Structure 1
Amino acid sequence: MHQILLNIAIYLTAAIIVVTLSKRLGFGSVLGYLVAGTLLGPYVLGFVGDPESILHFAEFGVVIMLFLIGLELKPHKLWSLRRAILGIGGAQVVLTAALLSGVLVALGVAWRESLLIGLALALSSTAIVLQTLEERGILNSGVGQNTFAVLLFQDIAVIPMLAVIPLLAVSGGDGAAAAGHGNLLANLPEYLQALVMLGVIAGIILVGRYLLRPVFRVVADANLPELFTGFVLLIVVAVTLGMMAIGLSPALGAFIAGVVLAESEFRHEIEADLNPFKGLLMGLFFLSVGAGINYPLLAESPLIIAGCVVGLMLVKFLVLKLVGNLFGFNPSERTLFGISLAQGGEFAFVISATALSLSALSAARAEMLNLVVAMSMVGTTLLFMAFDQWKKRAPHTAPNYDTPPFSPLGGVIIAGYGRFGQIIGRLLTSQNVPITILDSSPGQVDLVRRFGNQVFYGDASRHSLLEQAGAKQARLLVVAVDNAAKALEIVDTAQHHFPALQIVCRAVDRNHAYQLMQHKVTAIRRETFHSALKLGEDALLALGQSAEDAARHTQLFGEHDQHTLETLAEVWGDEKRYGVAVHQNLDNLRRVLEVDRSESSRR
């Protein structure tokens, strides 16, 4: 335990330094983790001699990633991208895997290993590609969305790839024996094993659909964020243990559980809670992979490794160009599409480690595979840098990337959906403006959801939840919560992390309005002011004033009060100046009303 904790401490220290430097240099976080792991591993500095001890723990990050991928796969999203996912994604994976496997067989590699390596190398790096496209502002362009669809298909394809590895394992190997260790079904007939496995998968689906949602409501009602996070982690751990106990991939179980919960109103909160764990564990995973890569192999056979890396990227680039041509991409889009997905992906490490443990892949092949994938990731960053230089020299040939007016995640986010927020939501919906609703009351979320609204449970003051709700792509954030302190928290978070996002706010009282004005939000409306003003107009009518006089007096008072609010906001916080300004504004109001009365009497 002491050694594991020491290893983790060393890894985290290196990650903070190297990954930060890597991000500053524009190489991305995944590459930084791999480099940090390499420096610390047994082949360079030797601070960590047993990366396997960290790798086994960090593999839980892969399980969490698959769970989160499942959460993203809502039916309507899949349907809107069906052509790109199944057509473009399917063509890319099948053609790439077939071509690479064929080349390896022709070079004398056994067909089982050739197929596994071909499948692993057909995948690309979701982390590197999405981050790179987002940094360049083209993720929402046509080619960006098609690239995302291919990555989505690849993420789904990982599941059957992991499932097929045991079928390709060499029977009687140590890995196969290890795989059977702890399998509660090992002594059962094969047909019973299959029935139990199907039963467990069906159980995950049924429990997720009918039991977890009410339990989530009970946990959320406790209003303890740490309890909610603990329950989410418990679900993932329980599914992992259950799948391991019957000899199935934990990633498969986590993926299924995620898909089942994709329609849950708690989806965004679950994502926000798990993302830090996923990021940390995936970082440790990449560090461990970097530490385990056999760099002496690179020194021994640099030309062979370089040839493999260039060959991999060239084959994938040509396949992607072909697929892009078949699906109507223009030349510039085909080039960017090919560069984006030409590298090997992080799941190649997962497939390599799994295949090695099951004796489906030899240690030498696994080390070569990991090294080639890591080098291809370096190559991709260099290709993107070259592509950027090419665009600068030939700007007229660069594609025009258009961002859609509304992101798929929604044009407006409404934080707080009580009586105030509902009126705003209904108005926006009547104008066909897509809205995403966030509310921290499980009961309110459940009630609003029954009417077909896209509403999610969570605390909108959390940066991670706003990001999951689409704050980067949204046009507007409406802060309609009834708690002044919480509203200010939401505004602070949104302005800090999403400075381009417009914000309109509900002010619960005058002091709250002053605070919001200091934050310079787009617009502020006091929650009771306008309704009270209109009721005051009705009172004047009831007291005998004409409709014209009542409306004019009400308008004068409203305009003066708004002017007063803006004036007093400048001195709010200075008690002495504020008191003087209040008296001056009251005197001004009396004079305005006296002038109005005298003018009315002369009419």
Structure 2
Amino acid sequence: MADAIPIVEIGVILLGAALVGFGFRKLGLPAVVGYLLVGLLVGPFTPGYVADRHQIQVLADVGVVLLLFEVGIELDLRALRREPLGILVAVPAQVAFVTVAGTAAFVTLGSGALGAVTLGLAVALSSSIVVVNITRSRKRTADEITARALLVWSVLQDVVTLVAATILTVLLSPGDASAAPIAFGKAVLFVGFAAAVQDLVVPRLLRAVRTEQDTFLIVAVSAALATAGIGAAVFGVPLALGAFVSGLFLSIRAEAQEARREVLPFRDLFAVLFFVAIGTLVDPAAILREPMWLALILGLVALKVIAVWFFAWIFRVPARRPQLGVGLGQIGEFSFVVLGLGSAAGVVSAGQFSAALGAAAITIAASAVGARLFPRGAPQG
């Protein structure tokens, strides 16, 4: 009978997250905010029931793998080459500027260099999930050009993150300075391994079982989990990064979109537990003990809104630039991955980690609402 308790717990948490997420959607907010709130309520830092974090984390790991595998598949690098040069330059410039500004601010307030870089990069990134919510919502006010700019900007951020997170993983690798080249070499080897598996092996398997829908799904999901798992266990690459790289290489194959359609429902289910697991890590007391971190992070997100507008203006990105900035003015899912790396390495404190997660919930809600406040038909610029 005791064996059934974990199943009941997961079921109740999923149901609670679904209902709270539905309520937030009715309010015009992303369901992600509701999932984070449920995690906070069942976490160890709030009164009442405390969920078993270990079992949630195992399923959450599946969620983040499927989430970022699907993000990788959705990236079409060949299509990005057809985008205007301005946006291809503006996005790396925005990420670099906000990361440097954030690093300087955190160092000024006493953070170590690696922790400051980690936090700065986390703040520089936006949420693909929220951007999709803004551009595809029935309540959206963004025109087609601005919606396209929002989607392309968030996709390019993901590409920049791939490079930045790989470098960060190397810098945060345990051991002395001599360990960094080894970690970098392992990361490069993993990229080669993922390219071989997802470009040569998996497409052939998917073609062979295309007529069997259930087998097709099993192959697609197992390939994502196995490649990301091998990346973490053998090459020392974080699960999320491994999953993203795997999806990226599969995206160039004809079978990619069918694999994405099959994986999507399972991604949505397990991703809920990923955001719930993130919510359980928020310590309100730590935020109250050091409120300066929350204030600083919110200030840096506001700076990011201005930076997006500025670089879009400088590089003549066609869009309603103020709406573009507000739509990207949040902390996203890749930020959680980056913060997790810093927390695991001990360079991001509990107070900073909780403040960043708290700021994520605030900024996700604010950007989703703020982006819809612009009137339809407003001029670009």
TM range (shorter): 0.7 to 0.9
1:244 to 214, 226, 232: 232
Q: For the structure 1 residues 117 and 310, does the alpha-carbon distance in structure 2 shift closer, same or farther, using more than 3 Å as the test?
A: closer
Matched, 1:205 2:206: no
8 Å CA contact 1:34–1:290 kept in 2: the answer is yes
Tell me how far 1:192 sits from its aligned partner: 7.8
Partner of 1:157: 160
2:206 to 216, 220, 245: 216
Partner of 2:296: 308
Return the alpha-carbon distance in structure 1 between the equivalents of residues 348 and 54 of structure 2.
17
Is the partner of 1:282 in helix, strand or coil? Answer: helix
Q: For the structure 1 residues 379 and 245, does the alpha-carbon distance in structure 2 shift closer, same or farther, using more than 3 Å as the test?
A: same
Q: For the structure 1 residues 260 and 345, does the alpha-carbon distance in structure 2 shift closer, same or farther, using more than 3 Å as the test?
A: closer
Q: Render the CA deviation track for 1:515-534: whole Å, top value 9, x for unaligned.
A: xxxxxxxxxxxxxxxxxxxx
Q: For the structure 1 residues 251 and 78, does the alpha-carbon distance in structure 2 shift closer, same or farther, using more than 3 Å as the test?
A: same
Partner of 1:345: 332
Return the alpha-carbon distance in structure 1 between the equivalents of residues 207 and 67 of structure 2.
24
Tell me how far 1:231 sits from its aligned partner: 0.9
Q: For the structure 1 residues 284 and 195, does the alpha-carbon distance in structure 2 shift closer, same or farther, using more than 3 Å as the test?
A: closer
8 Å CA contact 1:66–1:255 kept in 2: the answer is yes
Q: TM-score normalised to the size of structure 2?
A: 0.87
Q: Render the CA deviation track for 1:202-246: whole Å, top value 9, x for unaligned.
A: 2332343333333222212xx331111111112112202221222
Higher Cα Rg, which structure: 1
8 Å CA contact 2:65–2:225 kept in 1: the answer is no
8 Å CA contact 1:317–1:342 kept in 2: the answer is yes
Matches within 5 A, 1:80-479: 80-81=82-83, 83=85, 85-135=87-137, 136-137=139-140, 141-169=144-172, 171=174, 198-220=188-210, 223-246=211-234, 247-300=236-289, 304=292, 307-328=295-316, 333-384=320-371, 387-388=373-374, 391=375, 398-399=378-379
Q: Render the CA deviation track for 1:358-414: whole Å, top value 9, x for unaligned.
A: 2232333222222222222233244346x24xx3xxx7x82379xxxxxxxxxxxxx
Aligned residues: 376
Tell me how far 1:354 sits from its aligned partner: 2.1
**Aligned-residue CA RMSD (Å):** 3.0
Q: For the structure 1 residues 46 and 155, does the alpha-carbon distance in structure 2 shift closer, same or farther, using more than 3 Å as the test?
A: farther
Partner of 1:468: none
Q: Render the CA deviation track for 1:47-93: whole Å, top value 9, x for unaligned.
A: 23443541343122222222222222334312112625521211111
2:304 maps to amino acid? K
8 Å CA contact 1:169–1:359 kept in 2: the answer is no
Q: For the structure 1 residues 7 and 160, does the alpha-carbon distance in structure 2 shift closer, same or farther, using more than 3 Å as the test?
A: farther
Q: Which has the higher strand share?
A: 1
8 Å CA contact 2:86–2:316 kept in 1: the answer is no
Could you tell me the percent identity over the aligned residues?
24
Q: Render the CA deviation track for 1:449-497: whole Å, top value 9, x for unaligned.
A: xxxxxxxxxxxxxxxxxxxxxxxxxxxxxxxxxxxxxxxxxxxxxxxxx
8 Å CA contact 1:239–1:250 kept in 2: the answer is no
8 Å CA contact 1:324–1:334 kept in 2: the answer is yes
Q: For the structure 1 residues 99 and 280, does the alpha-carbon distance in structure 2 shift closer, same or farther, using more than 3 Å as the test?
A: same
Q: For the structure 1 residues 254 and 299, does the alpha-carbon distance in structure 2 shift closer, same or farther, using more than 3 Å as the test?
A: closer
Tell me how far 1:300 sits from its aligned partner: 4.8
Q: For the structure 1 residues 197 and 42, does the alpha-carbon distance in structure 2 shift closer, same or farther, using more than 3 Å as the test?
A: closer
Tell me how far 1:26 sits from its aligned partner: 0.6
2:378 maps to amino acid? A
1:370 maps to amino acid? L
Q: For the structure 1 residues 250 and 118, does the alpha-carbon distance in structure 2 shift closer, same or farther, using more than 3 Å as the test?
A: same
Q: Kindly indicate whether structure 1 or structure 2 has the higher relative contact order, using CA contacts under 8 Å at least 6 residues apart.
A: 2
Gaps of 5+ in 1: 174-188, 402-603
Return the alpha-carbon distance in structure 2 between the equivalents of residues 321 and 194 of structure 1.
34
Tell me how far 1:306 sits from its aligned partner: 5.8
Gaps of 5+ in 2: none
Q: For the structure 1 residues 371 and 56, does the alpha-carbon distance in structure 2 shift closer, same or farther, using more than 3 Å as the test?
A: farther
Q: TM-score normalised to the size of structure 1?
A: 0.57
